[in-house]
Amino acid sequence: MHDFAAMLEGGTVVGANAVGRWKGNAVSVSFFGRLDPPVFLTGVTAARRASPFVAVLLPREADQRVPAIDGGSELQRQFPLAGCAPRDLFGLFANAPTVALLDSLTDTEVEVLTDCVNVQRREILDDVTQLRPLLDAAAQLAGRMEEIHAEVAGQTTEEGERRMTEVR
């Protein structure tokens, strides 16, 4: 973690995490494991302004056959288990640079939560140069959420609350 912290602006190790800033965003780097499916991950979390939008994009398994979707984006083929709430905002989130970024990631899970973005590579990385694409992706996705914040938050308090109910 000390090598990862050294990459970050103001980077330090706090507990088992490297924390600091990357391209202006508060980030943390961590290792963790999950039982279902069994996998170890290297994760980067970037803070973002809270808004009522969440998305989960899980990569296609190497042996998973995904049919081509007529008119479907490459993003849908790369991440067949993609989901988000509110559903009608996915097209707003997934602009051309975001799709290109997500398509460039391999064996990586992406979570856009109400107040952060998690980009998690399905392996334990020990080379600091391998962490850079995860840091860049987390920063770019957090930036995308900032760009569309006003549209995601809704025109009225009622609309924002309705969207947050969908997110929950």
Q: 126 or 26, which is more confident?
A: 26
Detail the DSSP E strand segments found in 3-61: 9-14, 17-22, 25-35, 38-47, 54-57
| For residue 26, pLDDT beyond 50 | yes
Average pLDDT over residues 11-38: 94
Tell me what pLDDT residue 65 has.
Answer: 47
pLDDT of 133 above 80: yes
What are the pLDDT digits (tens) for 59-111? Answer: 766 444 444 433 445 565 566 667 788 888 888 888 888 888 888 888 899 99
pTM of the entire structure?
0.85
Quick check: bond before 38 cis, omega within 30? Answer: no
Do the beta carbons of residue 155 and residue 109 sit within 8 Å? no
Which of 25-29, 34-38, 42-46, 141-145 has the lowest average pLDDT?
Answer: 34-38
The confidence score (pLDDT) of residue 96 equals 86
Query: Which are the contacts of 152, defined by CB distance < 8 A and separation ≥ 6?
Result: 51, 52, 53, 89, 92, 145, 163
pLDDT at 16: 94
Residue 37: the pLDDT is: 75
